[in-house]
Amino acid sequence: MKVKLYYDKGTVVIKGNVHVPFARWDERITAYRTLAYRYRDIVEFLKQEGVEFEDHVLDNIIPSPVYDVEFDFELREYQKEAVEKWMRSKRGVIVLPTGAGKTIIALGIIKRLSVSTLVVVPTLALLEQWKERLSVFGDVGEFSGRKKELKPITVTTYDSAYINAEILGDKFLLIVFDECHHLPSEAYRNIAQMSIAPYRLGLTAFPERADELHELLPDLIGGIVYQKTPNELVGKYLAPYEVVGIRIPLTKEEKEQYKRYYEVFKLYIEKKGITFKSLEDFQRIVMRSGSDEEAFKALRALEQARRIAFSSKRKLEKLREILERHKGEKIIIFTRHNELVYEISRKFLIPAITHKTDKAERSEILKKFREGIYKAIVSSQVLDEGIDVPDASVGVIISGTGSSRELVQRLGRILRPAPGKEKAILYEFISTGTSEVRVARRRKSGLKQLNKV
């Protein structure tokens, strides 16, 4: 009996008298079965073994025209290098700083391959941005909560792709994961595993995750095939930059409040004998808080202490100084919490962008910022990832997480070169005598490591 391959609900079924190493016997259908992402490995194995087979896995692939189009831009040297490196295996992750043009590289690869392509992005805002850039190839499909259209090039979100992984799994030959550090999470990895796409491209500015699940990326997409650090691109392609840490003491009243709240958390972890060696240690307390009232109160106290450190009065006084010092320059202000975004917006009459800002208003704010009508904008974490923010020369981190990726992404917002832009400056406000000192040290260590690559 001739071996036959079929796609079935996120898996590949192998019928016939052959045993494929990474497939399992399914008694229900009397055939071997494996997750769809092993399709390329199956084909290579059968060819190496000299096994004849009928391939029905690609029966539902969306046909794609040859994308013989002219771009209105030219790929930079490192972008060309990235395309060539990826094309050697047609799999893998490309790591480049925010602002270095990862989308441009993807366009170059899509043009070279000219096959049906699914682009997976974290948010609807990014979906819109990708659709606009991909329109150079013609009509672009959208597969999201609001539309379900499949075209030779289609853009979807991680959420929609996860929910519909079985449907999308046998339609595309190339799958592009933007901000691919999201992919290894327990739910999202199904998108990769249930897709037969033999060609896989991951894009990110910072692949590492605190939970170390980034170690799954080589299996899901391929290893890192090309990487450049911010320092390698500074000068010719990115603006020179400086990260300036400013230590700011709490007021006497804030110091007393912070100590009172933090002491509640500290006493709890001492009582329970908890030490923090990894993210999992903290997550265990979070898990306990659902049934342990003492754990809940400890976490609540910690959050209240952090809010005092993140939004101290003297930080706002220092922000006023920075705004005066860089008057006339474009400034992006980052905070961790929305309440502080709105407070800064009211106090300094600066347009605010949060997850509550609708698409039209956000577009209008960014348009006026681009045109120089607005000289400053303030945001929580909405502008951290992927959004195409116009060039700015000054960034101010009022507060943030310990994530090195967050720092790299925020820095990337001000690295785009512009006429007359001599240097980009990123200010970090750090409340002394608080846990924010450790948080800032942790996120900065990732930037140092990244520049050593």
E strands, 9-116, in order: 11-15, 24-26, 31-35, 53-55, 91-95
Q: Does domain 3-60 have CATH number 3.30.479.30?
A: no
Residues 292 and 276: their CA atoms lie apart, in Å, by 19
Per-position b or e across 123-148, b if 16+ CB within 10 A of its CB: bbbbbebbbebbebbeebbbbbeeee
Q: How confident is the model at residue 412 (pLDDT cuts 50, 70, 90)?
A: confident
pLDDT in tens, 62-86: 999 999 899 988 999 999 999 999 9
- pLDDT of 450 > 80? The answer is no
* Mean pLDDT lowest among 125-134, 224-233, 408-417: 408-417
Q: What's the topology of domain 241-248+313-452?
A: Rossmann fold (3.40.50)
The CATH class, in words, for 77-228 is alpha beta
The reply to whether 241-248+313-452 shares the fold of 77-228 is yes
In contact, 116 and 152? CB cutoff 8 Å = yes
Q: Break the chain into its structural domains and give their ranges.
A: 3-60, 77-228, 241-248+313-452, 252-310
Which helix or strand (DSSP H or E) is residue 109 part of?
Answer: helix 102-113
Q: Which of 250, 227, 239, 270 has its CA nearest to residue 418?
A: 239
Average model confidence (pLDDT) across the chain: 90
In contact, 109 and 75? CB cutoff 8 Å = no
Q: How far is CA 415 from the centre of its chain?
A: 18
Q: How confident is the model at residue 388 (pLDDT cuts 50, 70, 90)?
A: low
pLDDT in tens, 40-52: 999 999 999 999 9
Which helix or strand (DSSP H or E) is residue 243 part of?
Answer: strand 241-248
- pLDDT of 344 > 90? The answer is yes
Task: Write down the pTM of the prediction.
Answer: 0.88
Q: How far is CA 338 from the centre of its chain?
A: 20
Output the pLDDT for position 19.
86
- pLDDT of 97 > 60? The answer is yes
Which of the two residues, 336 and 272, has the higher pLDDT score? 336
Q: How confident is the model at residue 409 (pLDDT cuts 50, 70, 90)?
A: confident
Helix (H, G, I), strand (E, B) or coil at 20: coil
Q: Tell me the two tokens of residue 210.
A: 């605190």
Residues 445 and 409: their CA atoms lie apart, in Å, by 14
Residues 343 and 331: their CA atoms lie apart, in Å, by 17
- pLDDT of 312 > 80? The answer is yes
Q: Which of 131, 364, 81, 285 has its CA nearest to residue 352?
A: 364
Q: How confident is the model at residue 451 (pLDDT cuts 50, 70, 90)?
A: low
Residues 38 and 127: their CA atoms lie apart, in Å, by 28
Which helix or strand (DSSP H or E) is residue 279 part of?
Answer: helix 279-288
Q: Which of 425, 406, 231, 453 has its CA nearest to residue 325?
A: 425
pLDDT in tens, 152-190: 999 999 999 999 999 999 999 999 999 999 999 999 999
Query: Mean pLDDT, to the nearest integer, of 6-29?
Result: 92
